[in-house]
C-alpha cells in the first residue's frame, strides 16, 4: 500500500516537473511583453486608472457596444462583452467605475484579433461598466450601468 503510494507520488512529481519545464520554455514570449501595469491597476479612481493606461479625455463613441446584464444578482460574476466597431481597434480596457480599484483588465489586440472581448468580472456595487478603446492613436469610450444586488468584492 505504502510502496504504491510512493510510486504514485513520484510519478506525479515527475509529471509536474515536465509541465513546469514545458511552461517555462513556452512562456518566453510572455517575459518580453510589457510589465504588468501596476499603477493603473492600483489606481483608486477612474481618472487615475485612465492616466495609468495613458488615456486622457476619451471621446464618447456609439460604435462601442457593452453587453452586460442590467441587474447582476451576484457581483462576483458579471458577464461583460465589449464589441468595438471602430476600425483599427488596438486595445480594449474594461473598468468597473465604483470598484475599489476600477481597472479590471486591459486587452491589447493584434494580428487579426477583432475588436471584441468577452469575460466575467467582479463588481463591488452598482456602477457604470466602462470600456475604453484605443484605435489609430485615439481613445474612445462607452459605459453601461449594471445594478448589483450582492457585491462581489471583499466582504
Partner 1 sequence: MAEPMRIRATMAGDVADVKVLMNHPMETGTRKDAKTGQLVPAHFISEVTATINGAKVLEANIGGAVSKNPYLGFKVKGPKAGDKVVVNWLDNKGDKNTAEAIIG
Residues that bind partner 1 (CB under 8 A): 16, 19-20, 22-24, 26-27, 29-30, 33-34, 36-37, 40-41, 76-78, 81, 96, 99-101, 103-114, 116-123, 152-155
- C-alpha 60/C-alpha 139 separation (Å) is 9
CA nearest to 141, candidates 105, 106, 94, 107: 94
Is the CB of 16 or the CB of 60 nearer to partner 1? 16
CB of 122 to partner 1, least distance (A): 5
Is the CB of 7 or the CB of 77 nearer to partner 1? 77
CB of 30 to partner 1, least distance (A): 5
148 φ, ψ (degrees, to nearest 5): -110, 125
- Residue that has been written with the C-alpha cell 462601442 in this structure: 64
CB of 42 to partner 1, least distance (A): 9
Q: Locate 25 and state its grid cell.
A: 520554455
- C-alpha 103/C-alpha 93 separation (Å) is 8
Residues in the chain: 155
CB of 22 to partner 1, least distance (A): 7
Is the CB of 2 or the CB of 30 nearer to partner 1? 30
Amino acid at each position: 500500500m505504502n510502496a504504491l503510494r510512493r510510486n504514485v507520488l513520484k510519478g506525479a512529481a515527475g509529471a509536474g516537473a515536465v509541465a513546469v519545464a514545458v511552461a517555462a520554455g513556452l512562456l518566453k514570449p510572455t517575459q518580453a511583453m510589457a510589465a504588468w501595469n501596476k499603477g493603473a491597476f492600483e489606481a483608486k479612481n477612474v481618472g487615475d486608472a485612465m492616466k495609468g493606461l495613458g488615456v486622457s479625455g476619451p471621446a464618447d463613441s456609439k460604435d462601442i457596444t457593452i453587453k452586460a446584464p442590467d441587474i447582476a444578482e451576484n457581483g462576483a460574476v458579471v458577464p461583460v462583452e465589449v464589441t468595438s466597431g471602430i476600425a483599427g481597434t488596438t486595445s480594449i480596457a474594461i473598468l468597473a467605475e465604483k470598484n475599489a480599484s476600477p481597472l479590471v483588465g486591459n486587452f491589447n489586440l493584434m494580428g487579426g484579433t477583432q475588436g471584441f472581448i468577452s469575460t466575467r468580472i467582479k463588481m463591488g456595487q452598482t456602477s457604470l461598466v466602462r470600456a475604453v478603446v484605443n484605435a489609430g492613436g485615439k481613445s474612445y469610450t462607452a459605459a453601461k450601468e449594471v445594478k448589483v444586488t450582492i457585491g462581489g468584492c471583499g466582504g
